[in-house]
Structure 1
C-alpha cells in the first residue's frame, strides 16, 4: 500500500537548492555552457533575454509586497532636490559666506532630474524657499501611517515613493517617524544614490526599467500626491493622469500639492480653451496646500 502524499508537495527541484549544492561541491559558477541558465548573469544580461528581465522586475517586487501585506499604497512624487528646512538654511549660510558650496550630487527626481555639485547663493535660497514642501511631505507621510496604525491589514494604506532623497525621503521619513512601514521604488541611474534611509529595508526595491517601475507605482496605488518637482515628477504625474483619462486605470484621487506652483507651471484651462482636453478632464485632479487637506481629499473619496 502506497503512502499518501501532500497535494502541495513540490514536483520540481528547488532552484536555490540546486545552486547551493553546486556551490557546496566546490564547483565555481564560471561562465560556460554548462551553467544553469538562471544562474548565468552574462546570459541574463543579453539583449535577447530582455523580456525575461521585464518579467523578473515585475514579479519580484510584487511577490515581496504580497508577502509583507502591502495591498494599498498612497504614492508620493516630488523633487529629489528639496531639503529639510535645517539643511536648506545651512546651505544658504554656507553659500552666502563662500559664494558657492559643494555638496553631494543631487539624485534622480523620481526619474531623471540631476543636478550639479555646487549650489550658488541663488540656488541655495530657492532650496530654503521650497523647504516647506519637504516638511509638508513629511507631515503627510506621518498622517497616512498614523491612520493605518490601528487598522486591519486589508484596510491599511502605505506610503510609496521613488525611494530617493528630497520629497520622497520626506514622505518615507514621516511614515517612519509614526512607526509605520513604507515602500521605496528606486531606479538605477549613473548618478544614483542609495535609497533614503527611511524606506523600510524589506520594501526597498531597485529597478532598471522605468516602465516596470511606473507599473508598480500604479498596481497598488489608491491615490497619488504630486509635490512640486522637475522632469521626473512631470513624467510620472502625466502618465497617471493619462491612464485615468483613457480608463486604462481606475480613477483614484490625484492631488497636486502646491497650487501656486502647479498653476504657474501648467495652464490647464488653456488646454480646455484650445480643445485638446475636455472640461471634465479638469476633474481628474485636485489641488491642496497643506497635508491635512490632501489627506482629507483622499479620505473623502473613499469615505474613510
Structure 2
C-alpha cells in the first residue's frame, strides 16, 4: 500500500474512533438523562438563567467594606484601588439578584408542592448547576424542602456542581447543545437574571425557539432586572433597521420585583397547565 494511503487510512481510523467516542457521550447525555427524568417523574420545570459570578449579598457586602476600608486608609487613593472599589460596588449591586433568585425559587417550590399534589404535575426549578444565580436557585428550592435540577457543564473556568442540587437530579454535560436541549424540553416558564455571554446565548436561543414555533407550547418569560436588560440589549435599532418585527419581542416581560414575578408566573402556569388528576 502506498505511504499516502497508509496515512489516510490511519487518519480515517482515528477520525472514526473519535466520532464513536463522541456519539457514545451524546447517546449517554440524551438517553440516560431521559431515563433518569422519567424515573424521577420530572415533566415540568421552571428554568432560571443568570450569571455564575453573582455573589451572595453578605459576601459581596463584606468584600465591599474591606476594600472601602483600604481606600479610606490610603492617603494617595491609587487608581487600582479605586477600580477595585468600583468593581466591588457593582458586585454588591449584582448580589441583590442572588437574593431575588433564591427567594423566587423558594416560593415557586413551595407553591408547586402545595398546589399540585400529583408529583407529575409539580414544577421543579432547574438551573445550570454552578455558582452564582444557579446556586441561588437550587438553594431556594432546598429551603422549601423541594427537589431541584442542576444541569452542569464541563468548561475550563467552571464549574463544580453547587451543593444545593438534589443528588439524583444533578447532571454533568460535555456538550452544550444537549444541555440546552434538556433546559428547554421540560420548561414551562423561564426567569432570566442578569448574566454574561452564556446567559445572552440562552436568552436569544429561547426567543428564537418561541418566535419560530419550535417551542410549540406557551412559556411565560421574565427578564429580571429591567435596567440591566435594557442597557445590555436594545431591540429598538433592530426593529428600526427591519432586522426583526416589533412583535418578535412581545414574548417576554421585564420585572424588578419578586412578588410581581411570582404572581405573573404562577398565574400563567395555573391558567395554561392546570393540575391533571
TM range, smaller chain: 0.7 to 0.9
Of the candidates 110, 118, 124, which is equivalent to residue 146 of structure 1?
A: 110
SS in 1 for 2:191: strand
SS in 2 for 1:120: helix
> Which 4+ runs in 1 deviate beyond 6 A?
42-45
Unaligned runs of 5+ in 1: 1-41, 100-118
Match status 1:79 vs 2:51: yes
Residues 152, 159 of structure 2: 8 Å contact kept: no
The 5-angstrom pairing of residues 29-108 of structure 1 reads 46-98=18-70
Residues 126, 148 of structure 2: 8 Å contact kept: yes
Go from structure 1 to structure 2 and tell me whether the alpha carbon gap of 1:194 and 1:94 turns closer, same or farther (over 3 Å shift): same
Q: Which residue of the partner structure matches residue 220 of structure 1?
A: 186
Of the candidates 232, 247, 261, which is equivalent to residue 265 of structure 1?
A: 232
Residues 225, 257 of structure 1: 8 Å contact kept: yes
Q: Which residue of the partner structure matches residue 295 of structure 1?
A: 262
Over the aligned positions, Cα root-mean-square deviation in angstroms equals 2.0
- How many pairs does the alignment contain? 244
The TM-score normalised by the length of structure 1 is 0.76
SS in 1 for 2:42: coil
Residues 173, 199 of structure 1: 8 Å contact kept: yes
Q: Deviations over 1:149-187 (max 9, x none)?
A: 232112200100000111111111111101111000010
Q: CA deviation at 1:192?
A: 2.2
Q: Which residue of the partner structure matches residue 246 of structure 1?
A: 212
SS in 2 for 1:46: helix
Q: Which residue of the partner structure matches residue 163 of structure 2?
A: 197
Q: Which residue of the partner structure matches residue 125 of structure 2?
A: 159
Q: Which residue of the partner structure matches residue 223 of structure 2?
A: 256
- Higher helix proportion (structure 1 or 2): 2
Q: CA deviation at 1:196?
A: 0.8
Match status 1:282 vs 2:239: no
Residues 162, 186 of structure 1: 8 Å contact kept: yes
Unaligned runs of 5+ in 2: 1-13, 72-82
